[in-house]
Amino acid sequence: RQNASSGSLAHCMSLGEELSAKIMASYLGFAHVEAANAFWFDSSGKLDVKKTVANLKSATSGVRQAVIGGFYGSSELGRAVFSRGGSDVSGTYCAVATNSNLYLNCTDVCGVFVADPSKVVDSRRLTELSYDQMRRLSLAGATVLHNQAVMPLAKYGIPLEIKSFYTPHKVGTLVTERAAQNAVLSVTEKMQNG
């Protein structure tokens, strides 16, 4: 996470995201919710969850459809950004603030696999996982979802579905309280030099 003023690296890093959200909202005819006004980081750089959820509830009250940028917000020092994959965390808190029935997280793969599908041919997709299993996989290095995105959903019982934006018609991975019944959840890779 980084913060600073409007000329800062954090501001530069998030400007494309901000402009993309505004363009998409205009194109779709949806409201635009400015992430910098919604996501709040405290003086230590940690997301202030209570203030963020209150900001999101206020910004989305009476709004049927909206576009909000991901991975950035504000602090007393100016613009702030989440760590890599922070849009997953932003989406999670949007789902919490709006009392959603489902958080659909679209990424470049159609779900969670036992091994990286770009490196392992015919890697098996997991159809369902528990919140705890997903958190453990994220902490162990599965980059499909930010590890801080899971537990808020578990706390409020909001199901998470991970799908691909390339193939939205394909089944993804559903994350709920129900644990996967698979013997192997992930395969790790050991690289050798030489």
- The structure's pTM equals 0.85
Mean pLDDT of 129-133: 93
Residues in CB range of 194: below 8 A, 6 or more apart: none
Residue 185 has pLDDT above 70, yes or no: no
What is the spatial distance between Cα 158 and Cα 151, in angstroms, rounded to a whole number? 10
Least confident of 7-11, 47-51, 56-60: 7-11
| Mean pLDDT, rounded, of the chain | 87
Helical H runs in the chain? Answer: 9-28, 35-38, 49-60, 86-97, 131-139, 151-156
Question: How far does Cα 184 stand from its chain's mean position?
Answer: 25
Mean pLDDT of 152-181: 92
When pLDDT is cut at 50, 70 and 90, the band that residue 83 belongs to is: confident
What is the spatial distance between Cα 114 and Cα 74, in angstroms, rounded to a whole number? 36
